[in-house]
């Protein structure tokens, strides 16, 4: 396994947070294939032999210390935050420790990564891509904490994009829809006992969400779209991934709220 001390020089440097699997891993592969000097920060290493792995949890200061050490030695041209977790739970019965951990990974980790990276990018410019979700615009029933964290992440990108534009730091909230990855099978799902009277509807929503994800775009196809943002001279502040997802997001914004909610309920078997 590589470490921060195993430095290569010459290429532009990217840090991917959460590049051990799914969209993050596919992004790592595409960046290394394009000649980037890539570091992955995640709890488990990425299988790409060309990447420098730093094993750290985004809920721990060690991850952000790694960003500082990398940027001090290499500079920093690109930050991709792709770490995330999900949980299917009724709002009424959700444990505080569970939803606080989810926000630590999905939102506060991204915030801290941006805060850590910006001082090293301010004098040279660069790009920051925060991997959000279409679920941040259109609520996922019984995965409300995930949707809430991704909505917050999108707002973070919007605000950062405005604040950092004078330093030529381009920020993008990248919004995939359902994506066929192992993320589906890592989701924390509350048991019938934990869910109380919501168990039946929660079960329907979980099954529907799994079908949406596993029937969605491949992680590789999503990463291809993300790389287009990396390569763009003027990347968009918000980038929805895939024509169908883009259309779905557009309709959710122009249709009456009651109709959008009705469509969402039907989509998740409610």
> How many angstroms separate the CA atoms of 254 and 219, rounded?
29
Q: Give me the residues paired with residue 170 across strands.
A: 127
Going by the DSSP 8-state scheme, the letter that residue 195 receives in this structure is H
pLDDT value at position 258?
87
> What's the angle, vertex CA 76, arms to CA 128 and CA 4, rounded to 5?
120
Band (pLDDT 50/70/90 cuts) for residue 10 is low
The 10s digit of each residue's pLDDT in 67-110 is: 999 999 999 999 999 999 999 999 999 999 999 999 999 999 99
pLDDT value at position 7?
39
Q: Is 217 helix (H, G, I), strand (E, B) or coil?
A: strand
The 10s digit of each residue's pLDDT in 22-73 is: 999 999 999 999 999 999 999 999 999 999 999 999 999 999 999 999 999 9
Domain boundaries, the chain: 13-267
Contacts (Cβ under 8 Å, ≥6 apart) of 76: 13, 15, 67, 70, 117, 120, 121, 126
Chain position carrying tokens 């792709």? 82
Whether 6 shows a pLDDT value over 50: the answer reads no
Answering whether pTM is above 0.85, one says yes
Whether 268 shows a pLDDT value over 90: the answer reads no
pLDDT value at position 208?
95
Architecture of domain 13-267: 3-Layer(aba) Sandwich (3.40)
**Residue 246: closest CA among 174, 189, 196:** 174
């Amino acid at each position: 396994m590589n470490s921060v001390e195993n430095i290569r020089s010459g290429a532009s440097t990217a840090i991917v947070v959460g590049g051990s699997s799914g969209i993050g891993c596919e992004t790592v592969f595409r960046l290394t294939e394009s000649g980037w000097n890539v570091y992955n920060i995640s709890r488990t290493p990425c299988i790409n032999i060309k990447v420098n792995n730093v094993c750290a949890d985004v809920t721990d200061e060690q991850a952000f210390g790694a960003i500082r050490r990398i940027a001090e030695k290499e500079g920093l041209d690109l930050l991709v935050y792709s770490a995330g977790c999900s949980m299917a739970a009724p709002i009424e019965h959700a444990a505080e420790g569970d939803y606080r951990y989810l926000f630590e990974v999905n939102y506060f980790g991204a915030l801290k990564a941006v805060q850590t990276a910006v001082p090293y990018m301010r004098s040279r410019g660069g790009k920051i891509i925060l991997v959000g979700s279409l679920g941040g615009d259109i609520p996922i029933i019984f995965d409300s904490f995930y949707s809430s964290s991704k909505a917050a992440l999108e707002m973070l990108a919007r605000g950062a994009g405005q604040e950092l534009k004078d330093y030529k730091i381009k920020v993008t909230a990248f919004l995939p829809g359902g994506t066929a990855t192992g993320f589906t099978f890592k989701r924390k799902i509350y048991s019938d006992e934990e869910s109380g009277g919501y168990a039946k509807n929660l079960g329907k929503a979980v099954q529907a969400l799994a079908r949406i994800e596993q029937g969605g775009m491949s992680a590789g196809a999503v990463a291809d779209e993300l790389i287009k943002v990396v390569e763009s001279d003027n990347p968009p502040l918000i980038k929805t991934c895939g024509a169908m997802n883009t259309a779905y997001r557009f309709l959710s914004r122009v249709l009456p709220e009651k109709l959008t909610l009705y469509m969402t309920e039907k989509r998740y078997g409610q």
